[in-house]
Structure 1
């Protein structure tokens, strides 16, 4: 659904609700001027409330955010993307096209009708002779049409009325002219033109026209004219043909309602307070509209981030920071241990997405057989510290990138960050000889996924080196580090002591998880991050790397900036991370432990 269509549907929903509200509370009272104001407010609010942006307020209240997430999950349709698919016209598109043709045909017919009626009034204004009757300037109709007015133009056929009847007509039409009732008529006509398929807009138009006549009738009786003779006069004009419908006609139907309203007892003044009741309804409509916009924005953001890596992800609004493609050396995806065997990929799945497309972010990331712990063990047992580098005291981190193919095989291995030729060669050798992985999936189909693994070579003296220093920016890729010149080195989770003696791990068997997983984390960032105004003015953008500790209870602590961009962006990134809800804590040997986590957040100006 496009934003324009959503806006249009919201207008029509509001009109239906306001009409029901009007009939329930205002229909039978005699506060005609208040009713006029309420009807005009209904039109104005229906047009404006979808445009009022209070998304910031909605995002600041958890119940509203929960409703937005529920709307995005249940109501918004899923859209699938098939790469390199030729555009085709299906039956749904044909139905939509047919409905558009019908709608615009109706608009064209009603617009033509509106212009014809307006032209007929202008023509009468030009052709009819002018005269002054009872001190009022009027246009003299040449045929026996019913009297009417349009703004300050009053049209009457004097020969059809007695002197007293002319006085009633002049008073009636002067009320229309003096109070600018033609504005209400034009607004209701235009609303009917563009919302003609909505039956409630026609009912609302009838209420507008009827209320204007109630006001004019009330004014006639206030000036001293006899009520009974005036009502007989109206009945006598019922058979008169109207010269134009786009006007305030003296004998507009239904006369029965007008006569009943003239004889009705005046409503007590205290009843005016009920006109304030529509304000909560207007506020509710605005809140619901913004919840829908927040849900649509969040869903769009999540779909873009979960989409193809070849398409850059940008914020749906200028003030929201995005999570675009992340450098391999800084991002990792840590998954829970998995003991499932690699499944064979059918040829039909392999052909669904072209081999030329390589993803960096997919819904289901590839996994090493046995999970992260198995990958650590593999690297620890297979990485051999080159004698040349060992004797020369060379150490450091080698970054290796590769592609996990659809069948789980490793291809396109290359060095992203070099330390020394001997270490580079060893790291590339170990990665190239890895067994087949469980392939990644995007929308249920196996795809090629690019991966990056940093391998740390560190001289640790006579001790058996351990696997350590795995960072956890688990948004795109699995990143693990293998160390050690000895083949029999056994990996274990690396932990350090914090100031409060709580062991903080950098890698554990089951890594911490944001409520709702990766998608939930992206949705939280999409609705929480506000692009600082000062950073927008200075055109500051870039990647802020945040480090934090996720405690045993899932709480966030020790938030700090590892890579700074600017004070404003650093502060905003730290604020959002610090306000995160509790995570599912990491587990080591079945016990919850504190885990150090790294999260890159990219601010990009659109």
Structure 2
């Protein structure tokens, strides 16, 4: 939730700054209204859109995915007791709880305050609504509020004070009727909901203020088409009135807006080509999608990271290719399985093939696994084609048996993580640590590959005791065959890192 909140807040602020810089001074009121309504919705949705092809690429040939830690031993027991509602206050660490959940607690307090303020404003609206007397003028129905000069609209209801004279009332009714026909109150209600959910973000309040101004500009523009501007100015300047400050209703008499409305009525229309400025939204969206796609929401467990064992060292590289002199020059790459080349072997094949063509240092390339060999002939017109494409974010992540293969990557990743946790908890010998005489926190760092055929390969581990390493490798090796990850329609290797954490009393 924290990452989503940060992303939404950042995107909304960027959209608002763009509005101030490029659009606010233009007279395209309806276009600006659409912008102010669409961009908050984009800010809400964009954090959920992850485009894998926008992520940065590396040259390893495998995606390295950090799985959430699996808690075993007394750690798991403690977690189950907490979930079961253990109310032992003496053992409960309130400072740690507040530190871990401070964001949610603060958010909850702010939400409650914002909700109470909304209820208060609604009650104010209900009170003066009940005091109104239903009337009609020129086919427009409205409620007359006694002993008042109020003029406002909420949804399809117009409220006008009884002390407003007939001449002013005619213009005001026309103005307020625009608010009704264009559903301006729904715009304001949308921002009331945003203020409730994101009460801490100043841009939400600025957005509501800007769209309130636009509502008045739109209504003024329509009214003056059929009336004298001078007469309309006089009505706006006749400010001997009182009004209720309720943010979800459209108010005709708003002191802070009257000057802006008169200025906008006198302002020259913006040139049509200025509408091209709205295209700036497209690169903004592209930048936001890139930011979201490159962000990782990594789940962590409260632990001392300095105690974690270092990740296992990378496997030793295969034997280097050899340039051999003789009757003919050739290069040799030794591999483990000539029919199932790893991504590293593919990479080395491409590099050596490129060198053959560019430098003309050899004419034959031999790939051998000791028993079998393949010979490739090259000349300056050779075209190298291999299936090892470097990447760091694959189009389709591996799928654990039982997970929905038709779901998106985010859902599959979460299902995969949950299944791995369940499998390790059900198969790992949790009593091993005590039998080995271990105490306190113990961690095992396991790395494994889900290969192109969905099998588990290259399992490696690092732990404080060799027996823990063996047990972790045994469990991971016994994982079921997966649906492999896919890139460009081809299966690829995916590398995973899995921490397993013990706490033994």
Is the pair's TM-score, using the shorter chain for normalization, greater than 0.5?
Answer: yes
* 1:222 aligned residue (215, 221, 225): 225
Match of 1:94 in 2: 98
* 2:179 aligned residue (166, 176, 181): 176
Match of 2:204 in 1: 201
Match of 2:234 in 1: 232
In the alignment, the residues of structure 2 paired with residue 231 and residue 65 of structure 1 have an alpha-carbon distance, to the nearest angstrom, of 70
Q: What's the offset of the Cα at 1:168?
A: 1.0
Q: Scaled by the length of structure 1, what TM-score is found?
A: 0.49
In the alignment, the residues of structure 1 paired with residue 97 and residue 225 of structure 2 have an alpha-carbon distance, to the nearest angstrom, of 59
| DSSP 3-state at the match of 2:142 | strand
- 1:128 lines up with 2:96 in the alignment: no
Q: Which runs of no fewer than 5 residues in structure 1 stay unpaired?
A: 305-348, 354-360, 373-468, 475-493, 503-520, 548-564, 581-598, 602-606
CA, structure 1 residues 574+131, in 2 after alignment: closer, same or farther (shift >3 Å)?
closer
Match of 1:37 in 2: 34
Match of 2:117 in 1: 113
CA, structure 1 residues 164+89, in 2 after alignment: closer, same or farther (shift >3 Å)?
same
- 1:62 lines up with 2:57 in the alignment: yes
* 1:290 aligned residue (285, 293, 303): 293
- 1:499 lines up with 2:343 in the alignment: no
- 1:150 lines up with 2:154 in the alignment: yes
1:360-387 Cα distance to aligned partner (Å, 9 max, x none): x9724799xxx99xxxxxxxxxxxxxxx
- 1:5 lines up with 2:2 in the alignment: yes
CA, structure 1 residues 228+570, in 2 after alignment: closer, same or farther (shift >3 Å)?
closer
Q: What's the offset of the Cα at 1:118?
A: 2.4
CA, structure 1 residues 269+470, in 2 after alignment: closer, same or farther (shift >3 Å)?
closer
Q: What's the offset of the Cα at 1:530?
A: 3.6
1:554-595 Cα distance to aligned partner (Å, 9 max, x none): xxxxxxxxxxx99975998994458x9xxxxxxxxxxxxxxx
**What are the within-5 Å matches in structure 2 for residues 2-401 of structure 1?**
4-55=1-52, 57-58=53-54, 62=57, 84=74, 89=93, 94=98, 97-98=101-102, 100-158=104-162, 160-224=163-227, 226-237=228-239, 239-242=241-244, 244-252=246-254, 253-292=256-295, 295-296=296-297, 363-364=311-312
1:425-462 Cα distance to aligned partner (Å, 9 max, x none): xxxxxxxxxxxxxxxxxxxxxxxxxxxxxxxxxxxxxx
In the alignment, the residues of structure 1 paired with residue 209 and residue 40 of structure 2 have an alpha-carbon distance, to the nearest angstrom, of 14
CA, structure 1 residues 362+261, in 2 after alignment: closer, same or farther (shift >3 Å)?
same
Q: Which of 12-21 and 108-117 deviates more?
A: 108-117
Q: What's the offset of the Cα at 1:150?
A: 0.5
CA, structure 1 residues 538+145, in 2 after alignment: closer, same or farther (shift >3 Å)?
closer
Q: What's the offset of the Cα at 1:171?
A: 0.8
Q: What's the offset of the Cα at 1:185?
A: 0.7
| DSSP 3-state at the match of 1:242 | coil
In the alignment, the residues of structure 2 paired with residue 573 and residue 231 of structure 1 have an alpha-carbon distance, to the nearest angstrom, of 64
Greater RCO structure (CA 8 Å; 6+ sep): 2
Aligned residues: 356
In the alignment, the residues of structure 2 paired with residue 21 and residue 175 of structure 1 have an alpha-carbon distance, to the nearest angstrom, of 28
In the alignment, the residues of structure 2 paired with residue 98 and residue 570 of structure 1 have an alpha-carbon distance, to the nearest angstrom, of 38
In the alignment, the residues of structure 1 paired with residue 482 and residue 314 of structure 2 have an alpha-carbon distance, to the nearest angstrom, of 37
Q: What's the offset of the Cα at 1:278?
A: 0.9
In the alignment, the residues of structure 2 paired with residue 29 and residue 573 of structure 1 have an alpha-carbon distance, to the nearest angstrom, of 45
Q: What's the offset of the Cα at 1:202?
A: 1.6
- Does the 8 A contact of 2:153 with 2:176 survive in 1? yes
- Does the 8 A contact of 2:143 with 2:159 survive in 1? yes
1:537-559 Cα distance to aligned partner (Å, 9 max, x none): 799x9953789xxxxxxxxxxxx
In the alignment, the residues of structure 2 paired with residue 38 and residue 64 of structure 1 have an alpha-carbon distance, to the nearest angstrom, of 41
In the alignment, the residues of structure 2 paired with residue 99 and residue 571 of structure 1 have an alpha-carbon distance, to the nearest angstrom, of 37
CA, structure 1 residues 255+65, in 2 after alignment: closer, same or farther (shift >3 Å)?
farther
Q: What's the offset of the Cα at 1:18?
A: 0.6
| DSSP 3-state at the match of 2:373 | coil
Q: Scaled by the length of structure 2, what TM-score is found?
A: 0.58
| DSSP 3-state at the match of 1:62 | coil
- Does the 8 A contact of 2:239 with 2:253 survive in 1? yes
| DSSP 3-state at the match of 2:370 | strand
In the alignment, the residues of structure 2 paired with residue 272 and residue 28 of structure 1 have an alpha-carbon distance, to the nearest angstrom, of 12
Rg larger for: 1
1:71-102 Cα distance to aligned partner (Å, 9 max, x none): x99xxxx9999985788748675356555444
Q: Which runs of no fewer than 5 residues in structure 2 stay unpaired?
A: 79-90, 318-334, 343-367, 377-389, 407-449, 459-479, 498-505
In the alignment, the residues of structure 1 paired with residue 236 and residue 96 of structure 2 have an alpha-carbon distance, to the nearest angstrom, of 53
CA, structure 1 residues 65+187, in 2 after alignment: closer, same or farther (shift >3 Å)?
farther
In the alignment, the residues of structure 2 paired with residue 256 and residue 51 of structure 1 have an alpha-carbon distance, to the nearest angstrom, of 41
CA, structure 1 residues 131+80, in 2 after alignment: closer, same or farther (shift >3 Å)?
same
- Does the 8 A contact of 1:218 with 1:262 survive in 2? yes
| DSSP 3-state at the match of 1:363 | coil
